[in-house]
Amino acid sequence: MMRASIIGTGSYVPPRVIKNQDLERMVDTSDEWITSRTGIKERRIADHETTNEIATKTAKNALKAAGISPKEIDLIIVGTVTPEMLFPSTACFVQAHIGANRGIPAFDISAACSGFLYALDIADKYIRAGVNKKALVIGVDLFSHIVDWKDRNTCVLFGDGAGAVVLSGEKGKSGILSTHIHADGHYWKMLYTPLCIASSPFHNKPLENSFLRMQGNETFKVAVRTMGEVCQEALDHNGLKVEDVSLLIPHQANMRIIKATAERLGLPEEKIYINLDKYGNTSAGSIPLALDEAVKKGVIKKGDIILFVAFGGGFTWASAVVRW
Ligand code: ACO
C-alpha cells in the first residue's frame, strides 16, 4: 500500500529572543504569571524577516535533511494565517525561492494553529491517490505581526517560527497512518483576527484594527475537549491503544492545555514532546518545529508511533498518526 513517509524535517526560528522579563517592561505582567499559566519562558520574534523568507529557509532545511533536490518536489502546501501577502500564496513564493519546478501545484491553507495538520492531511491524500510523489508541507506563522503588544491577555502567548516535512510516496509499513481534520465555525468569535481592508468609495464600513482577539477561558475548554476527542478518533481508527503511542507531539499552545489533553487520554507526561517554553505558541509552525527538534535530538526511533494533535481558530482541530 502506498503511504506518505516523512523523509526529512526542517525548521527555522528568527534569532531575536524575547523573554518574559522583557514583556514585564512592555505590559503589566510577570514571569511568574506567564510561566504558571502557560509554561512559556521566551519566544522568538521576527524583527526583519518575512513569512516568505522564514518559510523558504525552513523548506531548504527540510530538503537538505531529506537529501533531495527541490526539482523532485511535485506539490507544495503551506499552512499559515500570517502570509506576507493576500496573494500570491506563501507556497508560490517558496516554490520560486527554493528553485522548485515551474508548474507544480503550490497553495496555502488557512486553519490557524491546525494549519500544519490540515496541510499534511491534504498532501497525504494526494500522495495516497498517486497524484503526487514528493510533497513539501510547511507550517509557518508570525503572530508577532497580528497580536496587540499592549494587550497582556494575548501578547504573552505567541511567538514566530516555522517547520516543514518532506513527504515521499513509498510502499511499506511506515509513514502517515491516518489524519483527521475538523472545524466548527460557530465558535469563530472565540478566536479571530479581522482583516483590515482599504476604505473604498463603494462601502462605508468603518476601519477597525486587525489585532488578534481571543476569549481565553472558552478557547481553553473547547481545546481540551476536542484535542482529547480527535486523539481518541485517531487511535480508534488505527486499532491502537494509548500504550502503543511512543510520543505525542501536540500543538504547543499552553502547558495546561497539553497536560489536560494527555490526562484525558491517560498518556504519561514523559511521552509528550514539549518545547513551548522556548518558542511560545507559533500557531501553524508549532508541530513541525517540535517534530524537527525531536528528530534532531534523536528522540524518535524507527517504528515509533507518533501522535500529532492541534487546535486553533475557527475553531479547527486535527490529529495525525505516523509510524516512523
Ligand atoms: N499577566 C498578568 N495577568 C494577566 C495576564 C498577564 N499576561 N493576562 C491576563 N491576566 C489577568 C486577567 O486580566 C485576569 O485578571 P482579573 O481577575 O483581575 O480580571 C486574571 O489574570 C485571570 O485571567 P484569566 O483569563 O481568567 O486567566 P486564565 O487562568 O484563564 O489564563 C489563559 C489565561 C492563559 C489565556 C488561558 O485562558 C488559556 O490558556 N487559554 C487558551 C488560550 C490559548 O492558548 N490560545 C491560543 C490559541 S488557541 C490554541 O492555540 C490552542
Q: Report whether pLDDT(176) > 90.
A: yes
Per-residue pLDDT of 127-149, as tens digits, reads 999 999 999 999 999 999 999 99
pTM: 0.97
Residue nearest to atom 40 of ligand 1 (CA): 216
Q: Is 105 in the pocket of ligand 1 (CB under 6 A)?
A: no
- pLDDT (tens digit, 9 = 90+) per residue, 219-233? 999 999 999 999 999
Q: What is the pLDDT of residue 197?
A: 74
Does 324 sit in the ligand 1 pocket, CB within 6 Å? Answer: no
Q: How is 203-225 classified by DSSP, letter by letter?
A: B-PPP-----EE-HHHHHHHHHH
Rounded Cα distance, 323 and 307, in Å:
9
37 lines ligand 1 (CB under 6 A): yes
Of 204 and 92, which is predicted with more confidence? 92
Does residue 177 register a pLDDT over 80?
A: yes
pLDDT at 180 (0 to 100): 98
**Residue of minimum CA distance from atom 19 in ligand 1:** 153
Give the confidence band of 115 by pLDDT, cuts at 50, 70, 90: very high
Average pLDDT over all residues of the chain: 96
Give the mean model confidence (pLDDT) for residues 56-72.
98
Question: Which H or E run contains 77?
Answer: strand 75-79
**H or E segment and range at residue 108:** strand 106-109
Q: Spot the catalytic one: 113, 132, 254, 275.
A: 113
What mean pLDDT do residues 273-300 have? 98
Burial class of residue 129 in the structure, from the number of CB atoms within 10 Å of its CB (0-12 exposed, 13-18 middle, 19+ buried): exposed
Tracing cell 494527555 back to the chain, one arrives at 262
Q: Could you tell me how far CA 121 lies from the centroid of its own chain?
A: 13
**Domains of the chain as residue ranges with CATH:** 2-172 (3.40.47.10), 177-323 (3.40.47.10)
Counting residues of the chain whose pLDDT is more than 90, the rounded percentage is: 94
